[in-house]
Amino acid sequence: MAPKVLVVLTSANEIPKLQRPTGWYLPEFAHPHEILHGKASLTIASPKGGEAPLDPASVEMFKSDATSTKFLAEQKALWTNTHKLSDILPRADEFDALFYVGGHGRKLPTIPSLIYQPRPNPKNKRKTSLALTYTSYPAMFDLTTDPVSLSLIETFAAAKKPVAAVCHGPCVFLNAKSPSGVPLISGATVTGFSNAEEDQVQLSDAMPFMLETELQKISGGGYVKADEPWGEKVVVSKTAGVGGPLITGQNPASATGVGLAIAKALGL
């Protein structure tokens, strides 16, 4: 039987300080989906259930990305009728891994360093999987302190099941605890959207906190990042206490790598 992966999307559709539309970020779902689809059974959930808002800017930015456009055209049912997280919590033991998709705050200013960075696609050596260096925000507003989400993470981690997140998604681990009560990422090596990247997209002032700073503090100095802003960085570490797989990706360029790491953790 194929392993079951619970994929969580944000329900946030606006950055409060900017009053601009936001939502989950297309390639950060599309590229891991490409890796896992057909090998694992995916169930999609969000805090509110129903339609999880897709960031319209990510659709425009990735209109040249075959993986994202194919996903957008063929998989709409995945995000238009998501399960409510509170309905999933009692069924948590049915799933084998938990993955938090990033989301994008708004259409960002053009920055010279934000370029396409192709990487080999393991399914076809003639193709590339897109790694465009833009970013994710909504989870910072609705999932960081969501009690149901935290319970899900802690349940998966206590069972030594893989927990994963990309870009701003790792914010969901900041308040999660191990069975002994210590922070789930205490002593772990982790990554997530860097302060330099946040500054470059000129949204530091709109964020409730700086993710790199908080990950560094809560992990006890275990935050790492790519050598340059917008580079790919995927980290596989262990959760505190029980030592289950903890998978984090720094930015959208890391989405494919996170998908591959989840697949590997599941033995796919």
What pLDDT, in 10s, does the model give residues 8-59? 998 876 666 666 677 888 999 999 999 999 999 999 999 999 999 998 878 8
Predicted TM-score (pTM) of the model is: 0.85
Reduced to 3 DSSP states, what percent helix, strand and coil does the chain have, rounded to the nearest 5?
A: 35, 20, 45
- C-alpha 248/C-alpha 178 separation (Å) is 17
Which of 41, 160, 188, 166 has the alpha carbon at shortest distance from 99? Answer: 166
Output the pLDDT for position 144. 85
Class of domain 4-265: alpha beta
State pLDDT tens for residues 79-127: 999 999 999 999 999 999 999 998 643 333 333 333 334 344 444 433 3
- C-alpha 218/C-alpha 216 separation (Å) is 6
- Looking at the chain, how many residues does it have? 268
CA–CA–CA angle 158, 170, 77 (5° rounding): 90
The arithmetic mean of pLDDT across residues 170-179, rounded, is 95
245, β-bridge pairs = 238
Which of 52, 55, 63 has the alpha carbon at shortest distance from 20? Answer: 55
pLDDT at 133 over 50: no
